[in-house]
Chain A
């Protein structure tokens, strides 16, 4: 593999966003994901290859290490930040259609819930696996989801809740979304949610961690 892509993969996996970033200490002063992406593009590597050969495998490794408790949220956030730095350079190619994504993923926290760290992590991991992500933010109503689905036909939907009180809103929201768009697949996640709750309220998939969602999505896309 191209040496630049190898370095980029390492930068994202270890959470090195740019040259100035002091983390991780062993890469101090070296180029980060931002500079390496610019260099790769300048060297003629295609944006699609940067995504597929460096960013996606890096975030895949990060997701797996997180699931195995080998790294924790701080390291995962650093990797997501590094991926975000690389993405700033790739965004124009997403817009122009030069990069083909695997699909569109619409995510938010349920009505009444303002807690978004888990949701943000899932959004970043899914984006890092090659999906186009539309983040509707926090306290999102069923109507807002439905409108986003209309604007992005075929999109997959995800909603999270941190509280037992707000997870109760998921059932009604899923009914409303499924009534408007029966084919739409809906994921749920968050601390109080589990698989039996997922089945009870008619959601399509639950995962206790971001990696589970990424793997499920990739199976759908393949």
Chain B
């Protein structure tokens, strides 16, 4: 099987020839710049650490790394910012040099932290405390309440760090020839690699509510201002559908997977009960999924952190096929429970190893043992793409990343 055939077989719930693997195709199955820089040094390679997701400080893995570790899927965004002059050097918290896209210019503060500001030079949009390894949102446009109308929603969304500092390809979205260029680049990848292709296209609903209103307010709004919540969600949906129309038109026959995002869970349980999800979000997730299915051949993927097993039935009914990052360290997210309960319908893209507790502090033997156990459970009958539980964080030693890929190789050799 080619990489693409392997990933597609897994999504169709057919047994692939080996477990398909992702690292770096999405901003929730990736690797932090510090961990990546350590890995590159450990392997004795001379490759730049390019921080393509500046908010989360994630590196875009080089094709040499992708091929070395047998990674089966690529983010089409990697085709942008492909020239040296698209990047400039910065020093990371661990002292290593990495590269930012030229458009990202955070300002060093007197206390050693970094901040970014709006065009007025004073409104702080994002902040990375000293020694921290990613940026936090500091500007919440609807903190004091919902606006009377949404005439300025686009501008306000543009002030939220996730949109303002969006990773590629979206950092090029305002360019006149963006869409045909995006198609051309995706086609190049299709013709010149055998990898499955993925496009990250947020279409977040719950999360945009939390970005605009701030998490605590929006959570309470779900209870006490459902009408305002629905009005906002419909405005967001309008914008998301306009983007999806373009994505499906230009990429729908080239790209294999479209990745949505909406964090619905926390460690102990979901943010909301299934009734609230089903009333407010499921119908709108369904509209997004239906559109993709009617207008493209792409498979639908959602990233949601946390304990979401109570919401998985609703997500599947909405038309979501792939779940990530399968946060198995949360309550009610045990691998065998998830596979038994939802494995006939859902593809699990993640859950292959705990990034916290095993990959960061475990021995190679502990890493191997957990990976074998997870593969046995998740890979039965397909429906699984190996990925760590969320991004590989800075504290993961490179030896452990190598041990992880060695274990995957060993497991596959036994199949």
B133 close to A (CB within 8 Å)? yes
A117 close to B (CB within 8 Å)? yes
Which B204-232 residues have a C-beta within 8 angstroms of A?
215-216, 219-220, 222-225
Q: A21-B224, A23-B224, A164-B356 are contacts. A74–B132 as well, Cβ < 8 Å?
A: no
B270 close to A (CB within 8 Å)? yes
A22 close to B (CB within 8 Å)? yes
B78 close to A (CB within 8 Å)? no
Which residues from chain A contact B268 at a C-beta distance below 8 Å? 67, 69, 208-209
Bound form: Cα–Cα A191–B268 in Å:
9
Interchain CB contact under 8 A, B216 and A117: yes
Hey, what's the 0/1 contact readout for A75-110 against B, CB within 8 Å counting as 1? 101100100000000000000000000000000000
Pick out which of these stretches binds chain A: B17-25, B123-131, B182-190, B241-249: B123-131
Interchain CB contact under 8 A, A72 and B273: yes
Interchain CB contact under 8 A, B360 and A164: yes
Hey, what's the 0/1 contact readout for A2-32 against B, CB within 8 Å counting as 1? 0000000000000100000111100000000
Bound form: Cα–Cα A139–B130 in Å:
10
B272 close to A (CB within 8 Å)? yes
B267 close to A (CB within 8 Å)? yes
The size class of the interface chain B forms with chain A is: 20 to 34
Which B227-272 residues have a C-beta within 8 angstroms of A?
266-272
Interchain CB contact under 8 A, A191 and B267: yes
Bound form: Cα–Cα A78–B272 in Å:
13
Other-chain contact of A191, B127, B132, B219, B266 (Cβ < 8 Å): B266
Interchain CB contact under 8 A, B270 and A72: yes
Which residues from chain A contact B51 at a C-beta distance below 8 Å? none
Other-chain contact of B220, A78, A114, A120, A165 (Cβ < 8 Å): A78
- CB proximity of B369 to chain A, nearest CB, Å: 18
Q: Name which residue of chain B comes closest to A118, CB basis.
A: B266
Bound form: Cα–Cα A185–B225 in Å:
40
- CB proximity of B72 to chain A, nearest CB, Å: 27
Interchain CB contact under 8 A, A74 and B129: no
Q: Name which residue of chain B comes closest to A120, CB basis.
A: B216
A38 close to B (CB within 8 Å)? no
Other-chain contact of B224, A73, A78, A113 (Cβ < 8 Å): A78
Which residues from chain B contact A69 at a C-beta distance below 8 Å? 268-269, 310, 331
- CB proximity of A84 to chain B, nearest CB, Å: 12
Which A50-82 residues have a C-beta within 8 angstroms of B?
67, 69, 71-75, 77-78, 81
- CB proximity of B206 to chain A, nearest CB, Å: 11
Which residues from chain A contact B225 at a C-beta distance below 8 Å? 22
Hey, what's the 0/1 contact readout for B349-366 against A, CB within 8 Å counting as 1? 000000111001000000
Interchain CB contact under 8 A, B276 and A74: yes
A112 close to B (CB within 8 Å)? yes
Which B296-351 residues have a C-beta within 8 angstroms of A?
310, 331
Bound form: Cα–Cα A23–B161 in Å:
32
- CB proximity of B355 to chain A, nearest CB, Å: 8
Other-chain contact of B129, A67, A81, A112, A209 (Cβ < 8 Å): A112
A171 close to B (CB within 8 Å)? no
- CB proximity of B133 to chain A, nearest CB, Å: 5
Q: Name which residue of chain A comes closest to B332, CB basis.
A: A69
Which residues from chain B contact A112 at a C-beta distance below 8 Å? 129-132
Which residues from chain A contact B156 at a C-beta distance below 8 Å? none
Bound form: Cα–Cα A197–B266 in Å:
20
Closest 8 pairs (CB-CB, A-B): A23-B224, A74-B219, A114-B136, A112-B129, A23-B223, A74-B223, A191-B267, A112-B132
Ordered by A's residue number, 14 sampled pairs between the chains whose C-beta atoms are within 8 Å are: A69-B269, A72-B270, A73-B219, A73-B266, A73-B272, A75-B223, A78-B223, A112-B129, A114-B136, A117-B216, A164-B393, A165-B393, A165-B395, A191-B266
Other than the given A111-B129, A194-B357, 9 more pairs (CB < 8 A) read A15-B223, A69-B310, A72-B269, A72-B276, A73-B272, A112-B129, A112-B130, A166-B132, A208-B268
Which A residues have a C-beta under 8 Å from some C-beta of B?
15, 21-24, 67, 69, 71-75, 77-78, 81, 111-115, 117, 120, 139, 163-166, 168, 191-192, 194, 208-209
